Amino acid sequence: DVKVTQSSRYLVKRTGEKVFLECVQDMDHENMFWYRQDPGLGLRLIYFSYDVKMKEKGDIPEGYSVSREKKERFSLILESASTNQTSMYLCASSTPVGRGGGYTFGSGTRLTVV
């Protein structure tokens, strides 16, 4: 069964900490994405990547960075966590648009910054 795996289901971090959220996919997908999900706001795109070492800013990149050193792994980094980054973080991967472009989502990481 193909999947996108996020390393932690729940995470509690302190303000100012550097936080790494890891995402691994086993489908050989080119594209990978990080969204955050907040009540009343839906899903908002933080960053995405369409190839190894490539990244593009989404709608809300401020306070975040990403790393994609290998095709299967896409990491989201909170350089200095703040309480307004408390949220559910969802990772997804997809084939290119020309090959259907279907998304597969991970189960999410619920991050609490205290």
Partner 1 sequence: GDSVTQMEGPVTLSEEAFLTINCTYTATGYPSLFWYVQYPGEGLQLLLKATKADDKGSNKGFEATYRKETTSFHLEKGSVQVSDSAVYFCALRNQAGTALIFGKGTTLSVSS
33 vs 64, which CB is nearer to partner 1?
33
One character per residue 78-107, x = contact with partner 1 (rule: CB under 8 A): ------------x-x-x-xx---xxx-xxx
Residues 71, 113: Cα–Cα separation, whole Å: 29
- The answer to whether 101 and 58 are in contact (CB under 8 A) is no
User: Tokens 């729940």 sit at which residue?
Assistant: 10
Buried b / exposed e over 74-90, threshold 16 CB at 10 Å, is bbbebeebeeebbbebb
Is 112 near partner 1 (CB under 8 A)?
no
Total number of residues binding partner 1 (CB under 8 A)?
Answer: 26
Is 31 near partner 1 (CB under 8 A)?
yes
**Least distance from partner 1 to the Cβ atom of residue 53, Å:** 16
Which among 114, 98, 100, 94 has a CA at the least distance from the CA of 17? 114
- The answer to whether 67 and 77 are in contact (CB under 8 A) is yes
**Least distance from partner 1 to the Cβ atom of residue 36, Å:** 11
Contact set with partner 1 (CB under 8 A):
4, 31, 33, 35, 40-45, 48, 50, 56, 58, 90, 92, 94, 96-97, 101-103, 105-108
